Structures are given as C-alpha cells and as structure tokens.
Structure 1
Amino acid sequence: MRKPPALYSRSVRAVPAPGGARPAETPGATDSPALVGEAQPVPGARRGWRGWRADLARAAASPRVMWAALALLGALLLASVWTRGPVGARALTQKDIDAAVLRTLTTQNLPSAAARAAEKIRPAVVRVMSFVKNTKGEEVEHGVGTGVVILDKGVILTNLHVVQAAQTVKLVFADGSESGATVTGVQAENDLAVLQAHTIPDDLHAATLRSTGDLVSGDHVVAVGFPFGIGPSTSAGVISGLGRAFKSPEGEQEIDNLIQFDAAANPGNSGGPLVTMDGEVVGIVTGILNPTSHRTFVGIGFAVPIESAAGAVGLPPF
C-alpha cells in the first residue's frame, strides 16, 4: 500500500537565512546572536475592511478564537446594516467601522500566538513510554518521552534514546487512547527513531512539516511535550542559534547542524516537536545543555532540523 504523503508547508520568508553557520567546538561555546522579536501588529491600527477580513480568516483556523471571530463579524455586520439606514441618515465612515472593530477586539480575551500554535500541534503530539523486564520478569518503565505524528497512518517520530533497549513501547495519543508500537527505523547519527502504532485512532491528525531554510535567530517557537512525564506541556521562546553541535551528557555521541532554542525543555520533552507560531514542525527536540550534573533546563535546548528527521522515515526533503 502506498504511504500517504507527509504534510509540508512552504517557507514564507522571501530571503533565506545565511547558510554555513559554523558549529561550536563545544556546546554553548559560541555566543548566540542577539534575540530579535518579531514585530506585532498594533491593535486598532487603521487597516481597512480587507485587513480585518484577513484577520477573520486566520482566526477561523483556530477553534479557540472562533467565538471572538464571530463577535467581530457581528460588529462588522451591524456596521453594514447601519449603512442601509433611513434616507438622510449619516453615512457610516471608516472611522466608525474601525472604532466598532477595536471595541470588539479590546473586549475579547484572545489567546496568544503561542497558545494558538500549541493548540494546532497538540492533536499530533504523543506520549511515548518504553518498558523493560526486571529480574523478576515484571515490566517496569524504562523511559518516557514525546513523539509527533507525521503520517496519519500511525507513523511517529521520536528520539532514539527514548526507546533504545526497550522491550515494549507504548503510546498515549492526544484523545487519551493507547497503543503498542514497533520501532521500524532508526537514524542513530541524529538520535532519531521511527515508530509504527499498532492501533490508530479514527481521528488521528498528522503534523505539518515546515522547512528550516528561512529560520533566523529570534524567530518565535514553541515546544510541546511531556517534561518529567507531565503534560502535554507547552513552553515558548525563540530560536537562539543555528548550525550548533551538541554532545550527549554521557559523551557517547556528538550531533551537529542543530537548532538551538530557549523554550524550556526537560527530560521527557525528548522527541517532541519544535514548532513555529503557525504550529508547523521545524525540528525534533533532542537534548538540553547543562554544565552541571543536574538534568534540568538552564536556557539552551537543541532540536534536529525536520529535514533530517523526515529523512529518517524516508520522506523526500522540501
């Protein structure tokens, strides 16, 4: 049977990010570029009907902002009714429309960009648990991490170290359903593993993958996963570097060409998606840097670019 295609999104930035970034000789040795936040639109700016209509279209993509969008639409419809009032009535001006729209926007509690991104990716985020048998033959938990569905036929990406040496792998999907899984492929050089779920939910959603070609330091990102088994949890930050190198705490393997980010990640986030504000996957979280013996986040995390991750499944690049 032919595999369904993965969902890809085209890059939207016209000018690609500079290439050839030199990996640091040691993790964190290279200073990260200055963090530059993306400019946000000013609420209430005079943008005209076409601008508000575009906002409504974008809002409709997220269920959580649908009621706010409907309220805004109601304000615009009311404004249009006013324009058809009795003969001699004052004509409605653009200023009146802007005031009505601004009043609606300022009285609605709209979710943040990070919340919308997390909501979009969450149906594709999976809890991954690995088990081994102890000396008594009892099954005990060996590791916990995160995975992301990239094909709606139950194909899931995670980190190799989450499932390595496991005798049994179990999944918990976003709807709460559970399934066993089989490791069908590995890409050891990038700490990646491919899982195939045994039982697939009827409404399983696959993530949309996005090229990293135009990412730059300062782009906002969100990490969704199960830190310390708690979740799904969401953290937000920015990309703080590209082309980084990272060696695992055990010193067994060095991975290069990584995305460096500062959205909080901890043990359990491994294998989870790093996503843009559009909720599209640009990387798979693989490690955190901590110069101490503690396995906690100090501000530097690393993700394998999605191009490498998709290659682990045999999917074509962007």
Structure 2
Amino acid sequence: MIRREFHLAGLAGLFLLATSHVQAGLAEAIVKLKPSVVLIGTFKATDSPRFQLRGTGFIVGNGQLVVTNSHVLPAPAGGDAPALVVQVRQASGEWQMRPAVMLETNPAVDLALLRMEGAPGTAARLGDSNSVREGDDLAFMGFPIGGVLGFSPVTHRATVSSITPAALPSPSAGRLSEMAIRGLRNGTFNIFQLDATAYPGNSGGPLFHPETGEVLGVLNMVLIKGTRESALSQPSGISYAIPGVHVREMLDRHR
C-alpha cells in the first residue's frame, strides 16, 4: 500500500511538472510573438474616432510586410476615403501609426499582404502548418471585440478539432452562420477548425505553437449563432484559421 501511494504521488508530480512546462512554454512564446502582432485599421482626421480598428495582423518577412485577412481591409474607395494604416507597438509600450499599402489580396483564402512604412518591425517566425494534427493544442493572439478590451494583444488557447476541406462562403465573410457552415465541406483547401472562442476583432491574428511561438495559421472566421450580437453573449466556441502554407506562398511571390 505504501508503495502504491508513493507511485501515485510520483505520477501526480510528473503531471504537475509537465503542466507547468507547457504553461512556461506558452508564456515565453507570447513574449516572442507579441511585438509582431499589429493593429489593422483606417485613419481619417475628421472621423471620430480618427482611428478605426478593423482587425489584427502580424509582421513577417523583412519586417515591413504584414499579413492579415482580406475581409479586414476596407473596400476600395477614392477621394476622401480614410487611409489604410498599421499600428506597431514600440518598446515603450506606445502604439506607432504607420501608413500601409496593399501588395496582394487573395479572397479565395481570405489573406492579404501589406507593406508598412517606417523602420522594420519584429517579424514573426513561420512554422510548418503541414505538421499540424487534429488534437494539437495551439494558441492565437489578437484584439477581440474590436478593441473593447483595450489595444493590448490577448492570447487564447485553441485545440485543433478538425482539419477539413473548406471553401469560404464569401470574400467578406469574417463570421459564419450555422447555415453557411454546411457549405464549408465542399471546398478545395484545408482549413483548421478550432475548439476555441474568438471574436470578430481576432480576424487576421496569428495561430501559433504554444512553445516555439512559430505561426501556423491565420484566424479568419468565427461561427456565430443567430445575430452578430450573439457572438458576444452566446459565443459558439468554434473558430477557423487558414493554414500558414498559404502565407508562405504569398510571401514567395513578393521576395
């Protein structure tokens, strides 16, 4: 009996050590990735507020390129339209606003590549999204609920519940209804279905490995039940992300 109790206590100790290791790994990964996560929005001096947050993005490549969702970007407009901008967090903790231009948009996979002005930022490392398996525990970072919680990156855990062929129902779909989800099964590329609660402001944020901080995908959709407002009061706990292989393909076209 004494030996059995000692054995069980030893197993409990190993479990606690493993859990603390995973938590420490995520904390370190957040520190690495946080400087790469940026605000995507528009700016116009006569608007109130002058800066309008549209979603999340992250720095890649040479430090001046930014990845986000296609649906995050404003519709093309001329004349006195607000300017597309990226806000980068400085070492002091303050946000610096920079003009940005769109280099490429790919509505088929809901991705866009921007180039921001100014000094290079901290580029995120891209991992191998083909190595992601169903059941993997990942994490994602962004600005949920449109910045209501403040312009500070928020991290959530996510389990890959399914890797399934999918097609986006429309280029502007940042959210999915329960009816629209039926159309996802007939697509031509794989998408990560996540057991995680995300919000519209998370669109364009990085899905990353919780120990290495390597980016494996881009958050792009949240399944909602009913109206848009119910995404806040009754979140479905189901979100989707575009695999990072499509980010690599886009970057290769702009080397």
Give the alignment partner of residue 119 of structure 2, picking from 171, 194, 200.
200
Q: Distance in 2 between matches of 1:262 and 1:114?
A: 18
Does the 8 Å CA contact 2:42/2:51 hold for their aligned counterparts?
yes
Kindly state the Cα deviation for residue 127 of structure 1 after the two structures are TM-superposed: 0.9
Q: Is the 8 A contact 1:244 1:259 kept in 2?
A: no
Q: Counterparts of 1:153 and 1:183 in 2: how far apart (Å)? A: 15
* d(CA) in 2 for partners of 1:41, 1:305: 36
Cα distance between partner residues in 1 of 2:27 and 2:196: 14
Conserved 8 A contact 2:63-2:122: no
Distance 1:41-1:276 versus aligned 2 partners, 3 A rule: farther
| Equivalent in the alignment of 1:148 | 58
Number of residue pairs matched by the alignment: 209
What is the TM-score with the length of structure 1 in the denominator? 0.58
1:171 maps to 86
CA distance in structure 2 between the aligned counterparts of 1:44 and 1:304, rounded to whole angstroms: 33
Match runs of 1:61-210 below 5 Å:
112-131=24-43, 138=47, 143-165=53-75, 167-175=82-90, 176-201=95-120, 204-210=121-127
Asked if structure 2 preserves the Cα contact closer than 8 Å seen for 1:131 and 1:143, the reply is: no
Correspondent of 2:160 among 200, 219, 239:
239
The structure-2 alpha-carbon separation of the partners of 1:235 and 1:141, relative to structure 1 and needing over 3 Å to count, comes to same
Q: C-alpha displacement at 1:138, in angstroms?
A: 4.7
**SS of equivalent residue, structure 2 residue 130:** coil
TM-fit CA distance, 1:308: 1.0
DSSP 3-state at the match of 1:308: helix
Q: 1:182 to 1:240 in 2, by over 3 A?
A: same
Give the Cα–Cα distance (whole angstroms) in 2 for the partners of residues 290 and 113 of structure 1. 31
Please name the residue that 2:202 is paired with. Answer: 269
Structure 1: 5+ residue stretches without partners = 1-39, 46-105
Do structure 1's residue 42 and structure 2's residue 3 form an aligned pair? no
- How far is the alpha carbon of 1:43 from its aligned partner? 6.7
Cα offset, 1:143, TM superposition = 4.7
1:115 is matched by which residue type in structure 2?
A: A
Q: How far apart are residue 236 of structure 1 and its match? A: 0.8
Maintained 8 Å contact 1:239/1:262: yes
Asked if 2 retains the 8 angstrom alpha-carbon contact of 1:143 and 1:162, the reply is: no
Deviation at 1:291, TM superposition (A): 2.9
Determine the structure 2 residue equivalent to 1:291.
225
Counterpart of 1:153 in 2: which secondary structure? coil
Aligned to 1:280: 214
SS, match of residue 27 in structure 2: helix
Q: 2: distance between equivalents of 1:313 and 1:131?
A: 26
State which of 235, 242, 245 in structure 2 corresponds to 1:304.
242
TM-score by length of 2: 0.71
Aligned to 2:129: 212
Q: Any idea what SS the aligned residue of 2:193 has?
A: strand
1: distance between equivalents of 2:16 and 2:245? 39
The offset of 1:214, in angstroms, is 2.2
Which residue of structure 2 lines up, in the alignment, with residue 32 of structure 1?
none
Match of 1:94 in 2: none
What's the RMSD between the two structures over aligned residues? Answer: 3.1
Please give the secondary structure, in 2, of the residue aligned with 1:209.
coil
More strand by share: 2
CA distance in 1: counterparts of 2:225 and 2:203, whole angstroms: 18
One-letter code of the match for 1:168? Answer: A
Q: How far, CA to CA, are the matches of 1:43 and 1:138 in structure 2?
A: 53
Offset, 1:189: 0.5
- Residue ranges of structure 2 left out of the alignment (5+ in a row): 1-11, 77-81
